[in-house]
Amino acid sequence: MQSGLYVTLSAQISLERRLSTIAANVANQSTPGYRAEEVQFKTLVSRAGDSPVSFASQGETYLSRRAGVPTKTDAPLDVAVQGDAWLALQTPAGTVYTRDGRMRMLENGALVSIDGFPVMDVGNAPILLEPDGGPPTIAQDGMISQSGRQIGALGLFDLDESATLKRYSNSGVISNKAGTPVLDFSRNGVAQGYVEGANVNPVLEMAKLITISRAFDNINTALTGSESSLKDAIKTLGSTS
């Protein structure tokens, strides 16, 4: 069995998947609240032959939770989430969590995301502001005030570390475990007038791209050598038969 051919093929497939995640990350490096996509690889061992052979898996993708860099906008309806908390949105797919704190107010006072989804409070209810109440003030704990009167509060939620996050649109995620309301505001909260950027490091992504390109070259070299040895074996066996 020419296991080398299959091993190199599995490596090429895994590198191709890694390449697609890098392309997506670089394309969204300017998307507020975007969570970078990473790939976790495992070794698959085949024991079908006389000796075990290790193959590279296709890889499992996951979303990085590290924070992005906040940018000052001074817009009263922009917030950058601090700590590990998430904002919650009401969407057709259910509750979506996001770190994109760009919001806007509709004519009826409804507070919605930049994409038009209602922003939820800690009780998972849509937030309504006073249409004529003036610019809102948003405190570090998410409390919203207008003209010195408390109107409501942004819901901040913690997502379990073991929860699986699935991307929804560019900056939203759907969790297989419901978020729990944040109670500790010593390390979690929001900063009004700021927006969190993508947690993509373009320099690091380009370095990964160079590494993958070199890996592809090395694999192609190994594949060429394996094919050459196979051809030589066929010629040798053919001449002696």
pLDDT in tens, 124-174: 999 999 999 989 999 999 999 999 999 999 999 999 999 999 999 889 999
pLDDT in tens, 93-104: 999 999 999 999
Has residue 20 got a pLDDT over 70?
yes
For 33, which DSSP code?
T
Q: What is the pLDDT of residue 8?
A: 64
Cα–Cα distance measured from residue 70 to residue 64, given in angstroms and rounded to the nearest whole number: 17
Task: For residue 12, give every residue at least 6 positions away whose Cβ sits within 8 Å of its Cβ, in sequence order, or none.
Answer: 216, 219
Q: What is the pLDDT of residue 85?
A: 97
Band (pLDDT 50/70/90 cuts) for residue 72 is very high
In 3D, which of 93, 88, 92 has the Cα closest to residue 103? 88
| Lookup: tokens for 7 | 């091993």
Has residue 1 got a pLDDT over 60?
no
Has residue 7 got a pLDDT over 70?
no
Q: What is the pLDDT of residue 179?
A: 96
Average pLDDT value for the chain: 85
State the pairing for strand pair 86-91/172-175.
unpaired
Phi/psi-derived region of residue 154, left when phi > 0, alpha when psi is between -120 and 50, beta in every other case:
beta
Residue with tokens 């989804």: 117
pTM (two decimals): 0.80
